[in-house]
Amino acid sequence: MTTIKADDYERIVFFTGAGMSAESGVPTYRGRGGIWNQYRWEEYACQEAFDDNPEKVLQFHELRRQSVLACKPHPGHFVVANLAKKHPGVAVVTQNIDGMHQRAGNFEVIEMHGSLWRVRCPIHGIADEPDEKYKSFRCEQCGNWLRPDIIWFGDMLNQDVIHEATRIIRQCDLFISVGTSGAVWPAAGFPKIAKEQGARCIEINPEANDMSSIYDENLREAAGNALPKLFE
């Protein structure tokens, strides 16, 4: 299998999706065991669902927080976290809301789809919510329901976050995608941007998808096996 010396590259982007956390025990969204096979996103992951029944949506997200906290980062998370600490040109762009990258090492991650660990009051803004249980479903100051600070189906993406992710990907010379089905835009277009910039593009995913042909190399392995071998 290919091995990579991180120092041979100036700017490295790890672009991760739900498959990055799968070996930690966090379910993916699609495919076998996928969250959207078990739960209808229309009832749990869109603004309309929250407006109809905020309590049900918050309970679902509280359950997700508990199940994520019961999981631990795997060796692949530690490879990425250690590289991010050592190499000034490493950036992590994730579609994941689970915070698993950060738990492997305290470093900055561009979170495209928000975070399970934040809530948003329409009046008092965003607050961190790092614990298993929400302190309260309602804002202590104004009584409004607190909405998970997550990009749900039908939501606008945070344009500042997308610009920052795109800017970084335009500069990279190595782009490594890990565990994404390439089904959700604009994230699905990121490998193409990297490729057009001339970056070496590597996909780590046990299964092929519509975006796989863009990559220079496809490593059909699980993240927790592939990442430690790639950067040994």
Q: Rule CB under 6 A: which residues touch ligand APR? A: 17-19, 22-23, 28-31, 34, 95, 113, 178-181, 183-184, 204-207, 209, 222-223
CA atoms of 232 and 223, how far apart (whole Å) = 14
Cβ closest to ligand APR, residue 25 vs residue 143: 25
Q: How far is the CB of 112 from ligand APR (least distance, A)?
A: 7
Q: How far is the CB of 51 from ligand APR (least distance, A)?
A: 19
User: What are the residue numbers of the active site?
Assistant: 113
Q: Please report how many Cα atoms fall inside a 13 Å half-sphere around the Cα of residue 87, on the Cβ side.
A: 22
Angle CA 14–18–231, to nearest 5 = 35
Please identify, using beta-carbon distances, which residue of 21 and 168 lies nearer to ligand APR: 21
* Closer residue to ligand APR, CB minimum distance, 49 or 139: 49
- Give the shortest CB-170-to-ligand APR separation in angstroms: 21
Give the Cα separation of 126 and 92 in Å (integer). Answer: 22
CA 152 to CA 226: how far, in whole Å? Answer: 30
What is the distance between the alpha carbons of residues 232 and 230, in angstroms, rounded to a whole number? 6
Which of 146/188 has CB closer to ligand APR? 188
- CA atoms of 69 and 99, how far apart (whole Å): 10
* 153 CB neighbour count, 10 Å cutoff: 14
**Closest distance of CB 198 from ligand APR, Å:** 25
- Cα–Cα–Cα angle for 25, 60, 57, nearest 5°? 145
